[in-house]
Amino acid sequence: MQTIALEGRGDFSEWRDAARALAAAGVSPGETDWRIASPDGELFGAGALPGSPPLEKTARPLTVPPAFLPLAETVVCHTEPSRFHLLYTLLWRLQSDRFLLELDADKDVALARRLAKNVNRDSHKMTAFVRFKEMAGAIGGRRRFFAWFEPSHFVVARTAPFFRRRFADMDWIIATPNGTASWDGDNLLFDNRPGENPGHGDPTDDLWRTYYTSIFNPARLKVKAMQAEMPKKYWRNLPEADLIPGMIANAEASVRAMAEQAAKDPPTFHYRVRQTSNASPRGEPPPVQTIEALREEARGCTRCPLHCMATQTVFGEGPTSTPMMMVGEQPGDHEDLAGRPFVGPAGKIFETVLEEAGVARDAVYLTNAVKHFKYQPRGKRRIHERPNRGEIDHCRWWLAKEVELVKPRLVVALGATAFYALSGERKRLDQVRGEVIATQSDTMLYPTIHPSYLLRLPDEAERRRQRALFVEDIRHAWQLAADLEARQQGGGAP
Ligand code: URA
């Protein structure tokens, strides 16, 4: 009997190396005893040897159908102690029956598929239930986040790339009892040792509670499905979990209230919003004199229904002493989560254009026409939707205040939505691009394309051409803003 001791924390290669050696030496599954080594290197069981045994090479090279590898890589992440033996049995049998994996009724195949399904489900739960909490002290301008999660299996390494894609622009650590993953903007690292839960809360907990309260639809309440989807151990670590019993208890009354509201025509909320579209939320000028105070006020904006679905208000950023303001359309998926404008794919391309045009991102004030992310949920994805005229009109109040407080010499409208928000005119962008347009205030308006236009162009040559024109536009706008500022400083007529 060959005893093989593996660490067994979801690392496929340790099983593969041992299995190859055993199969090459012609050791049948019945002659193998697979064990899990304890963290200090001792075995859970007496008399076994750590590591794979030294074996003679006697047999022919191994072959497996392509479907075996992904199946084995997944099954290895399960916590079921017999998984290594099961996989070795499959590997052994596949040498004489290449089509074994197509026999769904075979008991080894069925078991492997069931284990793989459990692992995939656990991975999916991790993508849904990880909740980041902000850690004090950004490093190099990057915010840092921590999450504690308790998976059932060893899924941290295989699921971490999802979080790298989704949260590329922040540093994060996901600690679990089954290992830790971390991302610093360049490297995705794993540590197989059990992590620790510091168990602290932070202000993002409130954000999650607000988000959960806004998306909770009492009319679609299915308690059994919720319990199946979100077992207790996930609840423990969810900031919004303590709201759930109250929401369930109030669901019936909320549905009645919703039904009553739906019968009103027009809905009171919309009517009130329309009435106040050019005034503050309370119908009076807010007492704000600084951009910081305005940002603070915008945090709680409920002027249009977009706030219900968005994670947070994404307000403008940058110096208030700048001669140039740049206005995009609305935050996207990344911006909504990060709370900053232009940090997603359009933001990345925009930064390269700014750099090429010789404009430092932090030398301009950067904002959007609409401050909340508008999207359609589609499965796990949130598909960007253009804001409509009413939404832009409601949000114009904030934009106008930003222009008033920053007092830029030139405002660059990035795309047609920004142009409409700033001028009130619905025009195709190619009719106005590159024009310098006087406004009623001291500020000039300069329309150009939105950076995401470049991402949508299918033709490579056209994309390069449009990008070069965009760089030229930005360079020109910056020069213009500087000239206008110099003229103003010198007291000359604009
Ligand atoms: N597109 C925009 O218009 N603004 C952003 O902040 C991001 C993408």
Report the atom number in ligand 1 closest to the C-alpha of 341.
6
pLDDT tens profile 28-68: 999 999 998 765 544 333 334 444 555 555 556 788 999 99
- Mean pLDDT: which of 149-158, 183-192, 245-254, 361-370 is highest? 361-370
Would you give the DSSP letter of residue 317? B
pLDDT tens profile 300-327: 998 888 998 899 999 999 999 999 999 9
pLDDT at 249: 74
Do the strands 171-176 and 142-148 form a parallel or antiparallel pair, or are they unpaired? parallel
Pocket test for ligand 1, best of 329, 348, 398, 419 (most atoms within 8 A of CB): 329
Give residue 245's pLDDT band: very low, low, confident or very high (50, 70, 90). confident
Percent of the chain topping pLDDT 70: 80
What integer is the mean pLDDT of 174-180? 91
- How far is the C-alpha of 350 from the C-alpha of 344, rounded, in Å? 10
Q: What's the whole-number average pLDDT of the chain?
A: 85
pLDDT at 407 over 80: yes
Give residue 141's pLDDT band: very low, low, confident or very high (50, 70, 90). confident
pTM higher than the cut 0.75: no
pLDDT at 393 over 60: yes
Give the dihedral sign, CA 408/366/310/382. positive
Q: Are 420 and 432 in contact (CB under 8 A)?
A: no
pLDDT at 231 over 80: no
Q: How far is the CA of 4 from the centre of ligand 1 (A)?
A: 55
Report the atom number in ligand 1 closest to the C-alpha of 335.
6
> Between the CA atoms of 14, 19, 24 and 29, what dihedral angle is there, to the nearest 10 degrees?
160
* 237 vs 73, higher pLDDT: 73
pLDDT at 128: 86
- Regarding the beta carbon of 368 and ligand 1, being less than 6 Å apart is answered yes
**Within its chain, how far is the Cα of 303 from the centroid?**
26
- Regarding the beta carbon of 329 and ligand 1, being less than 6 Å apart is answered yes
- How far is the C-alpha of 253 from the C-alpha of 280, rounded, in Å? 32
| Run of H or E including 191 | strand 188-191
pLDDT tens profile 92-136: 999 999 999 999 899 999 999 999 999 999 999 999 888 888 877
- Regarding the beta carbon of 387 and ligand 1, being less than 6 Å apart is answered no
Phi, psi of 378 (to 5 degrees): -135, 100
pLDDT at 273 over 80: no
Give residue 369's pLDDT band: very low, low, confident or very high (50, 70, 90). very high
- How far is the C-alpha of 386 from the C-alpha of 392, rounded, in Å? 10
pLDDT at 413 over 90: yes
Report the atom number in ligand 1 closest to the C-alpha of 366.
6
Pocket test for ligand 1, best of 335, 392, 420 (most atoms within 8 A of CB): 335
* 376 vs 269, higher pLDDT: 376
pLDDT at 283 over 70: no
- Regarding the beta carbon of 419 and ligand 1, being less than 6 Å apart is answered no
pLDDT at 294: 95
pLDDT at 261 over 60: no
Q: Could you tell me which residues come within 8 angstroms of residue 133 by beta carbon, excluding any fewer than 6 positions away? A: 145, 146, 147, 200, 201, 202, 204, 205
Give residue 472's pLDDT band: very low, low, confident or very high (50, 70, 90). very high
